[in-house]
């Protein structure tokens, strides 16, 4: 008896401090924000598809089962690292329509209106369907229709709503503002027109028809076929800006991913028009020559140092970042070690620097509420990270009558007026001003970390400007604080974005730590949930560990 007690006591001592367990699998793993979509991804892999096929299938499935962010009316980024070492980044971000112009969201007195956020004028030209098609054509293996049909079936037959999704549908005010959105997403015809409750089936017959056409005719249906024609006639009838020419001109742009190193690991991440890759590389570089980690995860000291790095990076973001096809983003200057050293040197170890004292750095002259992320690894070791979005939750709130899909409000990611905050409080200037055909600056940061040249961590999240700091924190939690991936994802998060000068803390950060941080001069605000990360780690013993964020009801699954 005694010996058993002894063994049990030793076993407890050997366990890590707070081991939340990820889902483990030997060969392949899919982590998404919604259970049915994860199952669609796993099924694509089991049917012989590779990670890109699974990513395409998940992209369409989430457009049905996670309507606040999953989409065919929005856009996003796909980062791929193939098992043989090749890498690519597909930019299928929305584009400003030809009719768009610099001051289109300002009223007669020059003040921003709400038109970039809600209603028909808020949308950029959607990129998702073209982007998923490009990914499939260049890198997929399975037949296209096999990847789109599961989503069409989910839309046609319906799927039971999770607790979180039912609650979210009920409370979305932008859905209530659009008659078609209200009819589809807030009126359960089976229940006398009440709201949907958890477990109720959500059927989307109009969306099912669009997906069936896309399964049959490819992206052509969406960009010049029946769907395109119906979409632009509704646009014209409702004062929207997108035309058939805009749709016909939409292109996926294949870009070279951004790469950097941190403590011997290689980081592959999102290039402009994402601001995120520059962000995590610059912030990690600011940490690299310090011993910030010695004080431990969640300590006031490590949070202070990381928050000061965040504050400095976001000042640069506001000044120097935009669509690289329209504005020469000074990437190498922003990541130049001498520049980063100079930025680090301005951090005071004991006191918060006021944001008013932090300016965008001197880089020596310029070189001429909702998104979703999923991470996939297949049995060959191909790794895919996708973040795509309608921008705010349910985008512009507008569902196109007869087509059943929601449109993005991505135009709000432009700087509608220099210095005026967007819906995430981010400010920007010339680099991110509205120009026809330009893509708005993004924070989406799908990222892949390599160890000894092999995939080690796949990570990404929604959350607007908070995306960049959350990806940064999860990487630091794994690489510096040696947490397993589930702990790294669940750990309480914090965020600073220069302006407003506030340090946001999740409630899980201890009262003592808060006190220390406010004594250092940080202006603290508590926010309930910062982001929802989906990550996969390649563990040392050869197992894959999938982590869906404990903040949401997503699902990790593999085999
Ligand atoms: O591209 C961007 O940075 C934003 N459109 C992302 C929006 C987002 O993550 C909202 N999610 N909660």
| pLDDT at residue 492, as a whole number | 98
Question: Residue 367: pLDDT band by 50, 70, 90 thresholds?
Answer: very low
Specify the ligand 1 atom closest to the Cα of 532: 12
Q: From the CA of 467, how far away is ligand 1's center (Å)?
A: 8
Residue 364's pLDDT is 57
pLDDT band at 429 (very low <50, low <70, confident <90, very high): confident
CA of 264 to the centre of ligand 1 (A): 30
pLDDT at position 1 = 41
Confidence of residue 5 (pLDDT cuts 50, 70, 90): low
For the chain, what is the domain count? Answer: 1
Q: Give domain status of residue 402, yes or no.
A: yes
Residue 226 lies in a domain: yes
227 in contact with ligand 1, CB cutoff 6 A: no
Closest CA to 303 of 459, 157, 506, 2: 506
Protein residue with its CA nearest to atom 8 in ligand 1: 464
Q: What is the pLDDT of residue 425?
A: 82
Dihedrals phi, psi of 443, to nearest 5 degrees: -105, -5
Distance of CA 451 to the CA centre of its chain: 23
- Measured in angstroms, how far is the CA atom of residue 118 from the centroid of ligand 1? 15
Two tokens, residue 451: 């160890």
Write the pLDDT tens digit of every residue in 262-284.
Answer: 999 999 999 999 999 999 999 99
Q: Is 305 within a domain? A: no
pLDDT digits (tens, 9 = 90+) for 301-336: 999 999 999 999 999 998 999 999 999 999 999 999
The answer to whether the CB of 291 falls within 8 A of the CB of 483 is no
Q: How far apart are CA 212 and CA 204, in angstroms?
A: 12
How far, CA to CA in Å, does 205 sit from each of 38, 265, 393, 436? 22, 47, 22, 34
pLDDT at 486: 98
> Considering only 12-16, 225-229, 373-377, 555-559, which range has the smallest mean pLDDT?
12-16
Q: Is residue 15 predicted with pLDDT exceeding 70? A: no
pLDDT-derived band at 18, boundaries 50, 70, 90: low
Give distance in angstroms: CA of 531 to centre of ligand 1.
10
Q: How much is the average pLDDT of 473-479? A: 98
Percent of the chain with pLDDT over 70: 96
Residue 160 lies in a domain: yes
Q: Is 405 within a domain?
A: yes
Output the CA 415–ligand 1 centroid distance in Å. Answer: 14
Distance from Cα 40 to the centre of ligand 1, integer Å: 24
Check residue 8 and give its pLDDT. 45
Residue 486 CB less than 6 A away from ligand 1: no
Q: What is the pLDDT of residue 454?
A: 96
Q: Could you tell me if the CB of 370 is within 6 A of ligand 1?
A: yes
Across 432-456, average pLDDT? 97
For 212, left (φ over 0), alpha (ψ -120 to 50), or beta? Answer: alpha
Model pLDDT, residue 12: 45
448-459 per-position pLDDT tens digit: 999 999 999 999
- What is the structure's pLDDT at 17? 53
Most informative mutation of 421, 464, 471, 495 for ligand 1 (most atoms within 8 A of CB)? 464
Confidence label for 238 from pLDDT (cuts 50, 70 and 90): very high
At 486-527, the pLDDT tens digits run 999 999 999 999 999 999 999 999 999 999 999 999 999 999
- How far away, in angstroms, is 423 Cα from ligand 1 center? 10
What would the mean pLDDT of 177-205 be, rounded to a whole number? Answer: 96
Q: Which of 241, 369, 371, 465 is catalytic?
A: 371
CB of 180 within 6 A of ligand 1: the answer is no
Active site residue 371: yes
Both tokens of residue 339?
């520049």
Report the nearest-CA residue for atom 5 of ligand 1. Answer: 391
Q: Which domain holds residue 57?
A: 46-83+90-251+372-410
Closest ligand 1 atom to residue 410 Cα is 5
Measured from the Cα of 93, ligand 1's closest atom is: 1
Rounded Cα gap, residues 127 and 124, in angstroms = 9
From 467, 530, 551, give the residue whose CB has the most ligand 1 atoms within 8 Å, as the site to mutate. 467
Ligand 1 lined by 409 (C-beta under 6 Å): no
Residue 312 lies in a domain: no
- Phi/psi region, residue 29 (left: phi>0; alpha: psi -120 to 50; beta: rest), is beta
Candidate from 123, 371, 465, 495 with most ligand 1 atoms within 8 A of CB, to mutate = 371
Q: Is 394 a domain residue?
A: yes
pLDDT band at 368 (very low <50, low <70, confident <90, very high): very low
Q: Please indicate whether residue 168, judged by its CB atom, sits closer than 6 Å to ligand 1.
A: no
Query: Is residue 249 predicted with pLDDT exceeding 50?
Result: yes
Per-residue confidence (pLDDT) for residue 2, from 0 to 100: 54
369 Cβ closer than 6 Å to some ligand 1 atom? yes
523-532 contact pairs (CB < 8 A, 24+): 523/352, 527/495, 530/463, 530/466, 530/469, 530/470, 530/493, 530/494, 530/495, 530/504, 530/506, 531/461, 531/462, 531/463, 531/466, 531/467, 531/470, 531/493, 532/33, 532/372, 532/373, 532/461, 532/462, 532/463
pLDDT of residue 28: 98
Q: Please, which pLDDT band fits residue 421 given cuts at 50, 70 and 90?
A: confident
Q: Is the CB of 76 under 6 A from ligand 1?
A: no
Band (pLDDT 50/70/90 cuts) for residue 366 is: very low
Whether 424 is in a domain gets the answer: no
Q: How far is the CA of 515 from the centre of ligand 1 (A)?
A: 31
Over residues 371-400, mean pLDDT: 98
Please identify, by atom number, the ligand 1 atom nearest to the C-alpha of residue 465: 3
3-state helix, strand, coil in the chain (%, to 5): 40, 20, 45
């Amino acid at each position: 008896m005694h010996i058993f007690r002894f063994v049990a006591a030793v076993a407890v001592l050997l366990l890590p401090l707070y081991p939340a367990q990820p889902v483990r699998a030997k060969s392949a793993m899919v982590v998404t924000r919604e259970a049915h979509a994860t199952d669609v991804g796993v099924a694509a892999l089991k049917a012989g598809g590779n990670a890109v096929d699974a990513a395409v299938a998940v992209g369409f499935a989430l457009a049905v089962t996670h309507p606040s962010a999953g989409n065919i009316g929005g856009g996003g980024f796909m980062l791929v690292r193939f098992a043989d070492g090749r890498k690519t980044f597909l930019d299928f971000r929305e584009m400003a329509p030809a009719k768009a112009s610099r001051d289109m969201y300002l009223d007669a007195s020059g003040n921003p209106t709400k038109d970039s956020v809600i209603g028909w004028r808020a949308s950029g030209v959607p990129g998702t369907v073209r982007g998923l098609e490009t990914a499939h054509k260049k890198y997929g293996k399975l037949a296209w229709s096999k990847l789109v049909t599961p989503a069409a079936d989910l839309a046609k037959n319906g799927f039971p709503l999770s607790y979180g999704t039912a609650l979210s549908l009920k409370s979305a005010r932008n859905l209530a503002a659009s008659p078609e959105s209200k009819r589809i997403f807030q009126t359960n015809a089976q229940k006398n027109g009440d709201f949907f409750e958890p477990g109720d089936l959500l059927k989307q017959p109009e969306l099912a028809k669009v997906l069936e056409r896309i399964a049959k005719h490819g992206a052509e249906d969406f960009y010049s076929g029946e769907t395109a024609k119906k979409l632009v006639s509704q646009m014209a009838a409702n004062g929207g800006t997108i035309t058939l020419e805009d749709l016909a001109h939409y292109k996926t742009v294949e870009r070279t991913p951004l790469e950097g190193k941190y403590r011997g690991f290689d980081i592959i991440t999102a290039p402009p028009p994402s601001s995120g890759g520059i962000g995590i590389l610059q912030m990690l570089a600011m940490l690299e020559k310090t011993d910030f980690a010695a004080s431990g995860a969640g300590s006031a000291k490590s949070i202070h140092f990381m928050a000061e790095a965040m504050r400095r990076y976001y000042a640069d973001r506001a000044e120097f970042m935009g669509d690289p096809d329209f504005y020469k983003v000074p990437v190498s200057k922003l990541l130049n070690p001498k520049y980063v050293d100079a930025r680090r040197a301005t951090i005071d170890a004991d006191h918060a620097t006021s944001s008013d004292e932090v300016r965008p750095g001197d880089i020596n002259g310029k070189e001429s509420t909702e998104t979703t992320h999923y991470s996939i690894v297949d049995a060959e070791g191909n790794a895919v990270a996708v973040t795509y979005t309608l921008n705010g939750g349910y985008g512009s709130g507008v569902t196109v009558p007869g087509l059943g899909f929601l449109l993005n409000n991505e135009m709000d990611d432009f700087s509608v007026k220099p210095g005026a905050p967007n819906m995430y409080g981010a400010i920007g200037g010339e680099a991110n001003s509205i120009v026809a055909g330009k893509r708005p600056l993004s924070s989406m940061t799908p990222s892949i970390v390599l160890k000894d040249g092999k995939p080690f961590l796949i990570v990404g999240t929604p959350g607007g400007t908070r995306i960049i700091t959350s990806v940064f924190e999860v990487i630091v939690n794994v690489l510096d604080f040696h947490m397993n991936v589930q702990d790294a994802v669940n750990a309480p998060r914090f965020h600073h974005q220069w302006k407003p000068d506030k340090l946001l803390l999740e409630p899980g950060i201890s009262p003592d730590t808060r006190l220390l941080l406010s004594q250092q001069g940080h202006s603290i605000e508590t926010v309930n949930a910062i982001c929802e990360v989906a990550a996969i780690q390649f563990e040392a013993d050869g197992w894959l560990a999938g982590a869906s964020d404990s903040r949401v009801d997503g699902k990790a699954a593999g085999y």
